[in-house]
Structure 1
Amino acid sequence: MNLRSIQRVVCLATLIVAVTDLPLFAKIPLHQQIDSLVGVGNEQFEKNASKPADDATFLRRVTLDLTGTIPSVDEVRAFLNDQSTDKRTQLVDRLLASPEHARRLQYFFDTMMMERRRDKYIPAAQWRNYLRTSFSENKPWDVLVHEILSADGTDEKTRPAAKFLLDRELKAEEVTRDLGRVFLGRDLQCAQCHDHPNVNDYLQRHYHGLNAFLNRSYLFKDPKTKKASIGEKAEGLVSFTSVFTKEEGKTAPRMLDLPEIADPPMPKDPYKVKPAKNVRSVPVYSRRLQLANAMTNPTNVAFQQNIVNRLWAMMMGRGLVEPLDMWHADNPPSNPKLLNLLTESLRKNKYNIRLMLREMALTKTYQRSSHVAKDAKIPEETSFSVALLKPLSPEQLAWSMMQATGLTEKTLHSLKAKQSKADAKKGQKKTEDPQWQEEALHDALSRNVTAFVTTFGIVGAQTSQFDASANQALFLRNGLLLQSWLVPSKNNLTARLKKLKTSDQIAEELYLSVFSRHPNKIEKAQVAAYLNETQAQSNQSLQQLVWAALASDEFRFNH
């Protein structure tokens, strides 16, 4: 094929990609459509793009992203020995169907929506169980958000969903800002008193349009039960004045520049429950309930774009728009066509988060190596031609360390034995259920996770940037918790290493357990040199060897 023919093929492919509504393009699997749009317009993309990641790297990466922990050593060996041509697809589907996936999304969305705030009115355990159950059922994103924004805390069944509003105490500034940031990708805080001074897109009416959904609502505390819930008045308008221009305005509830939602005519008796002392008033028409409808309405494209951008950031290491909550004309998506494709697919597939994550995981873009190709220029992060490093979240770090050291396997073995003993007839069968295993392990080890969250967690807006602190370094270096996992016990990692006879065997078991890959020749030599310099396979030297691996940059990041 000559150069002119190649150019014609490239032009034809570009034309097909550009017109994403063509029937031919629509029949192509979404993950292939994504790959066809990544790099469009960049003539040097293929030259500079990294090669596919090897099986070990992919296994570790996708297991962390979809289940929140590294794979077990047995899972690593099985996957590396598997010769199936579709084993990566099989792996993705298996991970998405696992109980651990629902737990991973519970952690992710809890952090996204509550930003590690302290509990106030709804216990975190109830809220997190609600999230986990929702993701286990693969509840559509618009349905989940509708539940969260419409719950008032009075019904025990739906009370956990009210945490987003109740734990912010319905404070106008806090709730309005977080509605914009978390669900629309726009931080409107600086548009409260005037149009945003630096972002032309963020107007005062946008802020107060969101506020108008809730300005009639208030936090009600039952004098008998002391439980907090949401009450609402039947009247109350929203007006505002710019502190800069003194220009006055007013607005009914609205989503950004979408039409205002007008109140219906006021009925003769506007209340279902009239206001009175120690009584939660309930109006006939609720502006607050319009919030859930307006947020999840198909016309609210910002809501749809925001979630696909956040899911893309979760899988790829950064969003198409960064920061995730600063979406405006001067900070546009790095790939608008790709964003449109993802958004349209979200709508078409009824807000199916699991399906969206599956298609992202199957892309060549996601499966690229994090190493820059030889002789290639270091690419911009926005090109997604190289896999980006992602620091492990506190929860990922905790579960991965417990997995690597053998604590999860040891704990599960103990839990299964205890259950079988307690229920001689059905106990053993029950312990084979993956759901039982995940829940039992989580309950048994949740305090360890809390310790990591306390040390590594950031209260407030989350970031993908890595910034280690002295406390974190001390926790890993001298913390009694981690050190206790390194003491040889039953069949944990240190105990297994102690039973091995050669340095090569030790290096192999260590690297498969901690890094989910085989060691290379240099790494084997380094392990051998270390063991020669120390007291061979003493407990202390092996514990230090495992600790050094766990504290390394390679372990701390998903790559």
Structure 2
Amino acid sequence: MHTILRHCRNFIWLACSIATACAPTFADDAPVSFELDIQPILTAHGCNSGACHGKQRGQNGFQLSLLGFDPEFDHAAVSRDARGRRIFPASPENSLLLVKATAESPHGGGRKIERNSEDYQMLTRWIRQGAPRRVEGEPTLERVTLDRDSFSLTPSETQSLRVTAHYSDDSTRDVTRLATYLSNDDAVVSVDSGGVIQAGSLPGETAVMARYMNHIEVANVVIPQTEPLPAAVFESLPRNGFIDELVYEKLQTLGIEPSPPVDDHVFLRRVSLDLIGRLPTVEEARAFLDGSESETPAERRAKLVDQLLERPEFADHWAVFWADLLRPNPYRVGIKAVMNYDNWIRQQFRDEVPYDTFVRQLVTAKGSTWQNGAATLYRDRRSPDEVATMVSQLFLGIRLDCAKCHHHPFERWSQQDFYQFAAYFAKVGRKGTGLSPPISGGEEVVYTSSKGSVSHPLTGETMTPTPLFEITDLENIEAKQASSGEPIDPREQLAQWMTSTDNDFFAKVHVNRTWGILMGRGLVEPVDDLRTTNPATNPTLLAELAKEFQQSGYDFKQLLKTITLSQVYLHGSDPTPSNVSDRLNYSRHYRRRLRAEVLADAVADVTQTTESFQAMPPDSRANQVWTTRVDSIFLDTFGRPNENQDPPCERTPDSTVTQALHLMNSQQLDKRIRSDSGRVASLAASEKSPEQIVDELYLATFTRYPTTEERVYAVDLITAATDRRSVIEDLMWAMLNAPEFSILN
């Protein structure tokens, strides 16, 4: 019986389709395009979202491509799959697609459209016309625009977005009703399904995304302080370059007053820990704080920064940041390979290799993993798609993960873009011992193979290595490689494109990552997610930093100097009534906990004791440890990354109860404070007065002299004690547990 009914239904459908094709077209029955008219409706109502039929295996046997990135697949799913049961041209109103969407038939997603609504009528017309895939002369959607891309609102004010779609035949449509909207911070600004922006009650700023059929535009929304600041507030502020000009310009627009600059001791501690990951010694602190009166404060700060940048600790400190991002699990790729990789990274900083050269050597690495540490990248990442994901994120700030399976929902990158980019790594060849976890001790040689390709997973098409956007001057590399007789290495082409001064992403992601390390927050957060829907809080500043970095020849030390000598870097961390809620515009310094290795070394310096690390030479510092497989309860407690995680390894920057308990109760820390060869024992046995002892404790721990109240209290304790060593131990323990020690102000 069911078979007879199905054949009857298909016969009626075919007859109606023929009748429809032969019938005259009326004005109210103009041809309906699936891609231009129907897919936007499905997207607007969430039918192809990840929570509904857009998930990997669909919902209840009905699958659509996520957010409509594959029109061919979607048209087939709606009109032909399940023997065409979802549409019924003979009686469109009885089509399963419509009765489900209107909830006239049970539907897990509930009612999506109302009967007789504009969308309902459009779907009905399309089904009645035989559900065509395309119509004659159909244009293509090229872009969308907003009538306004920036708003300055008062608290609780509302404004409406208007989205216009532009097509290849120069026609336009108002698609505001069918666009999807998302605010990056609903607490600051919310946006409803109709594109109406609602400002919150407090000052702030955020971005609002409007998406229509995989085309995205962003509007920046600002809610300034209701009480503007006098112009004199900013006119009186000192400036030391473009950073200060651009930050203060925005703060003035927002009506936010910056915090006053810090004292010398705060700057000394801050810049020392930031640039070399080490506390100043007591002697260094005294020399700077009691410095020559012939030098201005600005001159002394500049001299200090120059000295720090030439210290040997600089290389180890900054190499650890990149080791976090690049180092693989030694049990996966081999202990020797990881050690060589770590040594290679550190040597780049010791040799002051320009950043573009560093990246170029890494991306194009060849040779033995036992001789060229950079080649370990390709021992760890063994497939083109793995390498492409890592390289694009670390060196371009472009996260291509989503585009591996479908069109990126918040960016312009498509599946085609992903596999064309991955094709750059298709010819990476390997000779030698492969991986055999948990023990992979063998040598492997990375070379450029004459074979290797990447295919599109849907079409099967062999991908040609293609950059994510326009590239220039690749012919010279191809000609050079061809004349050498060696196989053309697509990675050389990629490296040239990545490091070109025309590629803003390359410089921007690095200066943004560096800015985030020094200032407590990147101009873009996360620091390696430079997408249209995640705009920088100060786009002009990011662009200028990147420009200067390029013009300096990608000189990393010059970048650090530019940032640390700005007035903005000098801002205090104590908030003012004006900037207490600011977390985006650097009106104050954002406090952060010291990194695990820096804090461990600080404890060693304050206590004047050393820690023994496995697989490390005697007296090694925590910043020199080459793998997180070296046991250390302290480093693990304070957020050292786990190598089993997929790089880039994430550290948890927040303070935890476990960390506080460790500082208070660690037996190891207690032994270091009480060590007979440590600072406390030395001070207690010395001829120094209580005042001198207290000064040394404060200079060693906090890089400052004690206040009058602190000095009187501590001196009285030591003077009255029958066992002054015990009192000094207690003082040091209390100081190491103070937030001032573990938090960088």
Normalising by structure 2, we get a TM-score of 0.58
Task: Assess if the C-alpha contact under 8 Å between 1:498 and 1:537 holds in 2.
Answer: no
Structure 2 spans left out of the alignment, 5+ residues = 1-229, 435-440
3-state DSSP of counterpart to 1:220: strand
- Indicate which of 310, 313, 334 corresponds to 1:97: 310
Identity score, percent: 28
Distance change (3 Å), C-alpha of 1:33 and 1:469: closer
Q: Which residue of 2 aligns with 1:453?
A: 635
Q: Which residue of 1 aligns with 2:274?
A: 65
Q: Write the distance in 2 (CA, Å) between the matches of 1:57 and 1:152.
A: 45
Moved more, 463-472 or 322-331: 463-472
Distance change (3 Å), C-alpha of 1:186 and 1:547: farther
3-state DSSP of counterpart to 2:563: helix
1:516 equivalent in alignment to 2:703: yes
Written as runs of structure 1 = structure 2, the 5 A alignment for 1:166-245 is: 166-168=379-381, 170-197=382-409, 199-222=410-433, 226-241=442-457
Task: Assess if the C-alpha contact under 8 Å between 2:507 and 2:549 holds in 1.
Answer: yes
Letter in 1 for 2:272: T
Q: Which residue of 2 aligns with 1:485?
A: 672
Residue 41 of structure 1 deviates from its aligned partner by 3.5
Task: Assess if the C-alpha contact under 8 Å between 2:271 and 2:564 holds in 1.
Answer: yes
Q: Which residue of 1 aligns with 2:470?
A: 258
1:240-294 residue CA offsets vs partner (Å, 9 max, x unmatched): 246xxxx787642233223599999x99xx9x9xxxxxxxxx9622223433333
Distance change (3 Å), C-alpha of 1:286 and 1:185: same
Residue 75 of structure 1 deviates from its aligned partner by 0.8
1:83-137 residue CA offsets vs partner (Å, 9 max, x unmatched): 3211111000000011111221222221233377767245444333322322222
Residue 335 of structure 1 deviates from its aligned partner by 0.9
Task: Assess if the C-alpha contact under 8 Å between 1:39 and 1:45 holds in 2.
Answer: no
Whose Rg is larger? 2
- Indicate which of 606, 617, 624 corresponds to 1:404: 606
3-state DSSP of counterpart to 2:468: coil
- Number of positions where the alignment pairs a residue of Structure 1 with one of Structure 2: 488
Q: Write the distance in 2 (CA, Å) between the matches of 1:379 and 1:150.
A: 45
Q: Write the distance in 2 (CA, Å) between the matches of 1:8 and 1:531.
A: 49
Residue 403 of structure 1 deviates from its aligned partner by 1.1
Q: Write the distance in 2 (CA, Å) between the matches of 1:308 and 1:180.
A: 16
Q: Write the distance in 1 (CA, Å) between the matches of 2:232 and 2:741.
A: 46
Written as runs of structure 1 = structure 2, the 5 A alignment for 1:153-172 is: 153-154=367-368, 159-168=372-381, 170-172=382-384
Task: Assess if the C-alpha contact under 8 Å between 2:272 and 2:280 holds in 1.
Answer: yes
Residue 184 of structure 1 deviates from its aligned partner by 1.1
Q: Which residue of 2 aligns with 1:442?
A: 620
Letter in 2 for 1:554: E
Moved more, 146-155 or 304-313: 146-155
Moved more, 61-70 or 134-143: 134-143
Residue 312 of structure 1 deviates from its aligned partner by 0.9
Q: Which residue of 2 aligns with 1:556?
A: 742
Distance change (3 Å), C-alpha of 1:119 and 1:69: farther
Written as runs of structure 1 = structure 2, the 5 A alignment for 1:72-111 is: 72-82=281-291, 83=293, 84-85=295-296, 86-111=299-324
1:429-464 residue CA offsets vs partner (Å, 9 max, x unmatched): xxxxxxxxxx98537995799524344302244557
Letter in 2 for 1:111: D
Moved more, 334-343 or 545-554: 545-554
Distance change (3 Å), C-alpha of 1:116 and 1:101: farther
Residue 491 of structure 1 deviates from its aligned partner by 5.9
Q: Write the distance in 2 (CA, Å) between the matches of 1:49 and 1:337.
A: 19
3-state DSSP of counterpart to 1:326: coil
- Indicate which of 35, 39, 50 corresponds to 2:248: 39
3-state DSSP of counterpart to 1:229: strand
Distance change (3 Å), C-alpha of 1:517 and 1:173: same
Residue 346 of structure 1 deviates from its aligned partner by 1.2
1:177-208 residue CA offsets vs partner (Å, 9 max, x unmatched): 211221111222121111123x1333323322
Task: Assess if the C-alpha contact under 8 Å between 2:324 and 2:641 holds in 1.
Answer: no
Distance change (3 Å), C-alpha of 1:217 and 1:124: closer
- Indicate which of 342, 348, 351 corresponds to 1:137: 351
Q: Write the distance in 2 (CA, Å) between the matches of 1:60 and 1:69.
A: 9
Residue 323 of structure 1 deviates from its aligned partner by 0.4
Task: Assess if the C-alpha contact under 8 Å between 1:254 and 1:260 holds in 2.
Answer: no
Q: Which residue of 1 aligns with 2:364?
A: 150
Residue 315 of structure 1 deviates from its aligned partner by 1.3
Task: Assess if the C-alpha contact under 8 Å between 1:254 and 1:261 holds in 2.
Answer: no
Q: Which residue of 2 aligns with 1:275?
A: none
Q: Write the distance in 2 (CA, Å) between the matches of 1:369 and 1:333.
A: 23
Distance change (3 Å), C-alpha of 1:9 and 1:75: closer
Written as runs of structure 1 = structure 2, the 5 A alignment for 1:275-294 is: 284-294=487-497
Q: Which residue of 2 aligns with 1:389?
A: 591
Q: Write the distance in 2 (CA, Å) between the matches of 1:153 and 1:39.
A: 50
Distance change (3 Å), C-alpha of 1:391 and 1:258: farther
Q: Which residue of 2 aligns with 1:20?
A: none
Distance change (3 Å), C-alpha of 1:77 and 1:46: farther
3-state DSSP of counterpart to 2:425: coil
Q: Which residue of 1 aligns with 2:728?
A: 542
Distance change (3 Å), C-alpha of 1:8 and 1:313: closer
Task: Assess if the C-alpha contact under 8 Å between 1:252 and 1:261 holds in 2.
Answer: no
Q: Write the distance in 2 (CA, Å) between the matches of 1:187 and 1:363.
A: 31
Q: Write the distance in 2 (CA, Å) between the matches of 1:464 and 1:366.
A: 23
Letter in 2 for 1:98: R
3-state DSSP of counterpart to 2:568: coil
Normalising by structure 1, we get a TM-score of 0.76
Q: Write the distance in 2 (CA, Å) between the matches of 1:377 and 1:318.
A: 16
Distance change (3 Å), C-alpha of 1:262 and 1:131: closer
Q: Which residue of 2 aligns with 1:427?
A: none
Task: Assess if the C-alpha contact under 8 Å between 2:340 and 2:369 holds in 1.
Answer: no
Q: Which residue of 1 aligns with 2:43?
A: none
Letter in 2 for 1:207: F
1:296 equivalent in alignment to 2:499: yes
Letter in 2 for 1:203: S
1:516-552 residue CA offsets vs partner (Å, 9 max, x unmatched): 112224434554687699x654544432331222232
Q: Which residue of 1 aligns with 2:95?
A: none
Task: Assess if the C-alpha contact under 8 Å between 1:497 and 1:510 holds in 2.
Answer: no
Residue 477 of structure 1 deviates from its aligned partner by 3.5
Q: Write the distance in 2 (CA, Å) between the matches of 1:155 and 1:447.
A: 20
Letter in 1 for 2:249: V
Q: Which residue of 1 aligns with 2:27?
A: none
Distance change (3 Å), C-alpha of 1:74 and 1:181: same
Distance change (3 Å), C-alpha of 1:394 and 1:554: same
Residue 397 of structure 1 deviates from its aligned partner by 0.9
Task: Assess if the C-alpha contact under 8 Å between 1:253 and 1:261 holds in 2.
Answer: no
